Amino acid sequence: MRVILFRADQTRHKALAHSLNSKGYLVAQVIELKSNKLIPSSNLIMEHFKAREQFEKDFFSNIASHNIIDVPIMTTVNNINSKNTINFISQINFDIAITFGVSILNTDTINALNNKILGIHLGLSPYYRGSGTNFFPFVNNELEAIGYTLMHLDEGIDTGHIIHQGRAPIVLGDSIHTIGNRNVQSLFIDIIKLIDFKFDFSISKLQSFGGSNRYYRKKDFSEQSLRTALENLNNGLVERYLSDTSNMNARFPIYRNSLVK
């Protein structure tokens, strides 16, 4: 399958591009640079983001450090749905698009991509939607709600039909950053499997949005929420999860595509 990748420009996003390219699937990239980055408001938050960046490099820099050649690239700043993007798309022969870390695609862009878009959500939808969806489970004492969702992208925020979901293993001594990056690693493996077997968008699960589902925005991340997450870890959050993993995971059932063994 020929893939056009819409991505942000952090190490994990580059790593997915290299993973797809190494399999011969990547035919083009649209890279969105964002100028409205979060400005840390305290030393604790600054340390958190520095650690996140370093852990991401530790996990992925070995596969994200080389240039990808002979693959067309378009770069945009805070303007993923521009006419330039649509013109670029029209010149690419592709089967599907994958989005990872970019802004919401509008109707025109979705239509230009023939509505064949695999959206990556770092979180388990519909239980956690929006921003920080693999962070706030630490705040809410719900490690069983950490994972990833691959969905048939629509115009909503994490609302498309679910193609596949997964959870990476959690181990003793884990932190917010190690759990998060291990989930991304598992996500990459599953994406490649789906593409290897030429997955069908029609094989999916309709999401059910009930009152227990949580929706977070960037403004919800604060020093207090970070302190709560770290306190929960220090108070045995991982140990409690590991002591009853199966029953806890059952609280948040996930949809596994039959192509991913």
DSSP 113-151: TTT-EEEEESS-TTTEEESSTTTHHHHTT-GGG--EEEE
Q: Is residue 260 part of a domain?
A: no
pLDDT of residue 34 exceeding 90, the answer is no
Average pLDDT, the chain: 94
Residue pair 14/107 in contact (Cβ under 8 Å)? The answer is no
CATH number of the domain to which 184 belongs: 3.40.50.12230
Instruction: Check: CB of residue 200 under 8 Å from CB of residue 161.
Output: no
Please indicate, yes or no, if residue 254 is contained in any of the structural domains.
Answer: no
Distance in angstroms (rounded) separating the CA atoms of residues 56 and 178: 9
Confidence of residue 249 (pLDDT cuts 50, 70, 90): very high
Q: Hey, is 159 helix, strand or coil?
A: coil
pLDDT beyond 70 at 37:
no
- 151-175: pLDDT as tens digits: 999 888 888 999 999 999 999 999 9
Predicted local confidence at residue 36, as pLDDT = 62
Count up the domains in the chain and report the number.
1
Asked if the structure places residue 257 within a domain, the reply is: no
Q: Taking the C-alpha atoms of 14, 109, 257 and 7 in order, what is their torsion angle to the nearest 10 degrees?
A: 10
72: cis peptide before it, omega within 30°? no
Residue 214 contacts residue 126 (beta carbons within 8 Å): no
Helix, strand, coil content of the chain in percent (nearest 5): 40, 15, 45
> Domain range for residue 133?
3-249
- Is residue 259, in this structure, part of any structural domain at all? no
Which one, of 1, 9, 7, 61, lies nearest residue 29 by Cα?
7
What was the pLDDT predicted at 172? Answer: 97
Residue 127 domain flag? yes
Residue 169 in contact with residue 235, Cβ under 8 Å? Answer: no
Asked whether residue 261 is assigned to any structural domain, the reply reads no
Give the pLDDT score at 126.
95
